[in-house]
Structure 1
Amino acid sequence: MKTSSKYSLNDLMEKGPNLQNDILTLIIKWRSYRYAVIADIEKMYRGILIHEDQQQLQKIVWRFTPTDKLREMQLCTVTYESKSAPYLAMRTLKQLAIDEGDAYPQARKAVMSEFYMDDVISGRNTIEEAKILQNELYNLLLKGGFVLKKWATNEASILEGLPDNYKRQQNTIDFKQDESMKTLGLSWNTTEDVFVFNWQLPQQKSRLTKRVLLSNISKIYDPLGWLSPMTVKAKLFFQKLWLDRLNWDENVSESSSKEWELIRSEIININDVTIPRWISCYNNVTELHGFCDASEKAFACVIYSKATNDTGEAVITLMTAKTKVAPTKKKTTLPI
């Protein structure tokens, strides 16, 4: 909301540096743990007070029923949608780890490097270590007035003793992403300890425009590139639309519409894809093997891990991949 000065609070507020951990790095690290543990801070923003001098900048008018008089109220905690909220939340967590972490060394490491938004994504390689981590995380966060709930793990014994209302009741956990977008969900099935995708085909709009298509393509959330064979088709399709020089709200051609329908019908197959969460890291050396290729249309690379278990058997796991469409303004050549 803008005032008579034509500025809103967000217009004048500093955003602060980005303290958010990179989700790709976080998930790759998480996959190295034999036993996974995740949890969510309940009402995180509401647990962080704003300095009294600045609370007056967060005033609202409110009434509990339509017949009540309007009341002026002042928000005392970090407010959703304020520009600095993500920074203030992450900075508070890190300060809590600095101030109280000596008594909880395992939890301190997790708070500093294994949080994404209000979720901790961590684990350990033995059940005993995972239990210690879970206990330390709960107690360290409690020192700051935060309550960790929605606990989940691939080994039920790790959460023994926790009340049921502190545990997630479903066995498939959705990963958070940019909250400004509804995206294709990357989920973790705790029972089978695998990543799964869950995507329902959006209702096709009567008018298929470049804007609508970009909106649909952007809904595919694939931070580790596991869906690259599918998403690169969507990228190439949109590149072709761009070369057609269509306006954003101009209907695409009939042939383009049919091509998109084919891509949409193939995308639903990703619901059958499962990726093991644990990359079978043992005490032995884990190797990384990278491959890349290029064509006149696109470039691609992929990385696999190779671990050797105690019986000498090699375990190969997809780690991450990336694609890029070839530039159109610059001619590309391929070696013979």
Structure 2
Amino acid sequence: MQQHLTVPALLLASLWTLCTGSGDWCYQSQFTCDHQCNAPEKWNHVNGDCGGRSQSPINIVTRKTLKDERLTPFQFKDYQQIFRGVIKNNGHSVKVDVPHLSTISGGGLPTTYKAVQFHLHWGTNGGPGSEHTIDGEQYPMELHIVHMKQHYADLTTALADPEGVAVLGFFYERSSSANRKYDPIINVLRSIKSTNDNTSLLPISLAQLIPSEQNMTSYYRYKGSLTTPSCTESVIWTLFEKPIPLNMDQLRMFSELKFQDGKPMVGTFRPVQPLNGRQVYQSGGAVILASSTLLVAAIATALGLSQPI
């Protein structure tokens, strides 16, 4: 009797192993009967950290954010620096390594961080595809510029430090006109359709890819993780309110890339993760306080409360 129970149990166990994949992680859009990889809900099978309590991305509920006056404007150093990068289809996204010239400081960060690489996450043909969401809204695409503390030599070492990595996240919005500053990237996507394809970029700077500094004073801040395995919880996240415009044709170009199995590289985002009691902060505390004071003064004047008795 025991044997009859064991054989089906073993069969089920082996089917389960097949179903959850053989260690390779993937996005939900890649999971099929033919390609049974570890989709996001099984990433903790690939790396235990993916089941942690401070995971990213998250949904930011704006009314629950706390204003923090320490979240001052960032200092961007050498972000205007032109460099000749290589763009690569790494099987999960497109990634560009950045020479360690560009740094960020201020913005409530504990120290100076240097840029390491940037990559993107997107949906299908310009549809919802950002990783983070704002009040439940998912943008078409999200840019991550990954930085590590200036004194570290490599990202692996930086990730061992609970505050070793700082990622700047930017949302994209659909616009009616093309954003020509993105031509160096958009124009080479056809050359890197397959996994591990790479090509040289025309000279670009990080500054041309993001909003102007005066449009980057409003942002959200929280402590989280990498959004792909190993999901290490060593990231100080900054998400800027001001989106970057791209037109529909530009957004669609990303969906022409291919995953390793040749299927369209679409839906390259991890679903939002539980907050588990973490607090999300918002910049501009001092500005809001000043305007609130003015508002109270204006109301008091209107009500005649400032008149001497």
Alignment TM-score > 0.5, same fold: no
Structure 1 or 2: more helix by fraction: 1
Structure possessing the higher relative contact order (Cα contacts under 8 Å, 6 or more residues apart): 2
Q: TM-score range by the shorter chain?
A: under 0.3
TM-score (norm 2): 0.22
Which has the greater radius of gyration? 1
TM-score (norm 1): 0.20
